[in-house]
Each structure stands twice: as C-alpha cells, then as structure tokens.
Amino acid sequence: MRENQLKRKLKRGEVVLGPFVNCAYPAFVEICGHAGFDFAIIDMEHSPLHTLVAEDLCRAADCVGIAPVIRVRKNDSPQIQRALDIGSAGVQVPQIETKEDAEAVVRSAKYSPLGSRGLSFNTRAGLYTAAGTHISDKLNEESLVVIHVEGKRGVENIEEIVSVPHIDVIFLGPYDLSQSLGIPGQVRDVRVVELMEKCVTAIRNAGKVAGTFADNPEAAKLWIKAGVQYVGLGVDVAIFLRACQALVKAVRE
C-alpha cells in the first residue's frame, strides 16, 4: 500500500502547495504534478464533479506522485466514506463549527477503534481486496483528515476544535469567514486577517497543521510566514483564466 507522502511532509514541518480542482479532465491533475505541486484538492463542494470522475482524478494524481485530497460537500458520513474509498490520500470537510462537528468527521473518516467508518476491502482504497483484510489500521494511519473552520462560530470554538484527536489539518477559509463577518470577499480586511492569525496560533500550539486558501503568490507567502503549512493555491479554472487573459493581453497590447 502506498505511503501518504503528503502526510509525511507535513509531519516534517514542510510547506505544501496544491490547487483546488474543478475540472473533470484528468490531464489537469497530471499537469499539477508536473508543475511541482504537492497535492490537488478535488473539489466536490463547489464544482459539478461526481464520484466516478473524482476516482479518475485520484488515479491521475497517483500517476504523477501528488496526493489527491477530496473536498466533500458537507460533514456527512457517506460522503466522507466514499471520498476515502475511492483511494484519495485524504478528505477535506467544510463548515466545521464545533468540537462535536470535528469529532463526527473523525468517526466518519477512521475505522474502529478510532471511528466507525464502514468496512469494505472491495474498494480502490483496499486495492480491490489485493491488500488483504488486515489493513484498516494502516488506512487509519495513512489517511489525512482536513477540516474547514470558516465562520465566526468556528473561530469562537477554535480552542475546542483543535483539541480533537486524529485531525491533521485545520483549514481556515478566508472567503466564507469574510462573509460571516458581513464583508464578503474582503479577505485582506484587518478583521479577517486578525481572526485567522489568532486561529493559526491556536492550531500550531495544539500541535496541528494550519491551512488556508491563497489566490495569488503574495497572499500565499504572507500566510506561510504566519505559520501556515498547507496552502490551497488557486483554483484550476481561475489559473487557466488568468493565463489566458495574460496571453491575450500580451498580444493585443
């Protein structure tokens, strides 16, 4: 069974970069690997992607040695189980507001004795039974669990949330946080930045990894300097748009 190199990089204290992926074409994920990204977040919350497509995107990521992480639509046990069963390196769960929410994610993502994830080895994660029937502990160890804290209530409960075992990354969502503060889209507003910085400190003090989204290199560097290790760097469709705009502008001007 393949070791989760993304999880190992994080444990070594490395900064890792990966875009959100909305496109169904596996070549886009392969390109992410060739470009030097560490992981790709296959976004099933905001994109039209479905499970069969996501599974092929996981295969594409494996082909180029980057980690596929599935962002599910909500904190829902069947969705979390399916995201892991298709062979992703981890699952990313949005809108976590309380310690109880975080504990529910762990129960869904981990097999007994750590959780109550449904047990089947007839999956891509179980190598279609080729890995044998004694791999649940190994899968528990290798799977990466990422939760999103992206609203005022989650920020208020951050100290309790970070105390939950078996969560690897707490991902701070600047856009949803700005919306919850009544200033949608103003992610560089001092109110958003100060709350996120407070959360990064709490996350790191708890021995966990802080993550966030950055849509440009400058924002990414600022958050890395602040202690963020897991950086969702851009979205494939927006990256493609910016490249096309720059190309057209360069010729027309």
pLDDT tens digits for 209-250? 999 999 999 999 999 999 999 999 999 999 999 999 999 999
pLDDT tens digits for 15-62? 999 999 999 999 999 999 999 999 999 999 999 999 999 999 999 999
Instruction: Please give the angle made by the CA atoms of 98, 197 and 204, to the nearest 5 degrees.
Output: 70
- Domains in the chain (CATH in brackets) are 5-147+214-252 (3.20.20.60)
pLDDT tens digits for 63-103? 999 999 999 999 999 999 999 999 999 999 999 999 999 99
Residues 109-116 have a mean pLDDT of 97
pTM for this entry: 0.95
Q: What is the 3-state secondary structure (H, E, C) of 168-211?
A: CEEEECHHHHHHHCCCCCCCCCHHHHHHHHHHHHHHHHCCCEEE
Comparing CA positions, the residue from 18, 61, 9, 13 lying closest to residue 231 is: 18
pLDDT tens digits for 20-33? 999 999 999 999 99
pLDDT at 146 over 70: yes
